[in-house]
Amino acid sequence: QVQLVESGGGVVQPGGSLRLSCAASGFTFSNYAMHWVRQAPGEGLEWVAFIQKDGSTKYYADSAKGRFTISRDNSKNSLYLQMNSLRVEDTALYYCAKARIDLGAVAANWGQGTLVTVSS
């Protein structure tokens, strides 16, 4: 079955950097677009970034543009999110999500998330 396991979260000071990873299994990773979605404590969902199955197309939320970079390594079945210039408001649970094969915009499977805390 589909498994998505996020890692790399932690506590970082404002202005710092983190690299999140998502290990995928149970499906042919290279056939699917992927997303990062975050959820601040007690808040709703916020889409962060999207990457096409071959990495050719990437989209970012305005809040992530210029600071975050989404990437993938299909040979390692892994998705990444490099986060730089982190702000207090980036504190959230970050989910990795697999898109539907026929509808890249919709997140069909989600991991359990990795928590990022930005605090001085």
Binding site for other proteins (CB under 8 A): 37, 44-47, 50, 59, 61-62, 95, 100, 103, 105-113
Residue 97 · residue 47 · CB < 8 Å: no
Cα four-point dihedral sign 50, 55, 56, 62: positive
Residue 46 or residue 74: which is nearer to other proteins going by CB?
46
Partners of residue 30 on adjacent β-strands: none
Min. distance of Cβ 48 from other proteins in angstroms? 10
Min. distance of Cβ 4 from other proteins in angstroms? 9
Min. distance of Cβ 76 from other proteins in angstroms? 22
Residue 16 or residue 23: which is nearer to other proteins going by CB?
23
Q: Single out the residue of 71, 62, 63 nearest to residue 91, CA to CA.
A: 63
Q: Single out the residue of 108, 90, 91 nearest to residue 99, CA to CA.
A: 108
Residue 28 or residue 75: which is nearer to other proteins going by CB?
28
